[in-house]
Amino acid sequence: MGASAWSRKVPYRTDVAAALRLAREDAYREGDFARDEPNLRARRMSEQEYVDAEIAAMRAVLVDVFGEDKAGDPNDEMARASWHAAQIDVVGPDTLLASQPFSGTHSVIDMTGVAERPEGGSVAPLPDEELDRWFGTRRPDAAAVERALGEGLSGFARWQGAYVVAYAGDRPDEIYFFGFSGD
């Protein structure tokens, strides 16, 4: 599928981590995410049965592509992780993300923390020089942020997010989270 750009706004809160939790909960409640089909086969099998079946299937592909002598033995880590993920009952943003460890949700739900600088799985403030470049101010209003998002303002690298506080006059009004995630 490839990664997806996403954005989500919430009313301003001084606690950015609490605002991020609200954004994630809103996205989950509104269905604003990508969801993998549940792996019912893994749910019906024991962990070892599933892992054995997956390893046999991977090995068959490797033999087909590389031949018996060069195929090697596949690692079982991904199969085990897939089995464990399939056992999760999805009841909120955290369990949804845990149930899709390889694909993510293509949404703000993929961001689980707030950081000072860009890092995987977290949102960080858009740097001052980027605020100046995109908005000509460090206190953009909501219309300016919406316009910038439409013109290509994005988070940092894949699996990272950013945030900007939008102002109404002199007071903080909303927080916009945005990024690029999912596989």
Tens digit of pLDDT per residue, the chain (183 long)? 578 999 999 999 999 999 999 999 999 999 999 999 999 999 999 999 999 999 999 889 888 888 887 777 888 999 999 999 999 999 999 999 999 999 999 999 999 999 999 999 999 999 999 999 999 999 999 999 999 999 999 878 999 999 999 999 999 999 999 999 988
Question: Is 88 buried (19+), middle (13-18) or exposed (0-12) by CB count in 10 A?
Answer: middle
Q: How many domains does the chain have?
A: 2
112 with 130, same domain? yes
28 with 42, same domain? no
169 with 114, same domain? yes
95 with 11, same domain? no
124 with 136, same domain? yes
Q: What is the pLDDT of residue 1?
A: 57
Domain end point (choices 51, 68, 102): 102
28 with 117, same domain? yes
Q: What is the pLDDT of residue 154?
A: 85
Looking at the whole model, is its pTM more than 0.85? Answer: yes
Question: In the Cβ-directed half-sphere of 6, how many Cα atoms lie within 13 Å?
Answer: 27
Whole-Å CA distances, 182 to 69, 73, 127, 157: 35, 28, 24, 12
Domain end point (choices 53, 77, 102): 102
55 with 113, same domain? no
159 with 170, same domain? yes
135 with 169, same domain? yes
168 with 143, same domain? yes
Query: Does residue 146 contact residue 108 with C-beta atoms inside 8 Å?
Result: no
Exposed e or buried b per residue across 119-156, where buried means at least 16 C-beta atoms within 10 angstroms of its C-beta: ebbbbbbbeeeebeebbeeebbbeebbbebbeeebbbb
Q: Which residues contact 141 (CB under 8 A, 6 or more apart)?
A: 166, 167, 168, 173
Q: What is the pLDDT of residue 45?
A: 97
56 with 74, same domain? yes
- Supply the range of the domain harboring residue 57: 35-102
Q: What is the pLDDT of residue 153?
A: 93
Residue located via tokens 């892992």: 51
88 with 138, same domain? no
The neighbour count for residue 108, using CB atoms within 10 Å, is 28
Domain end point (choices 85, 102, 119): 102
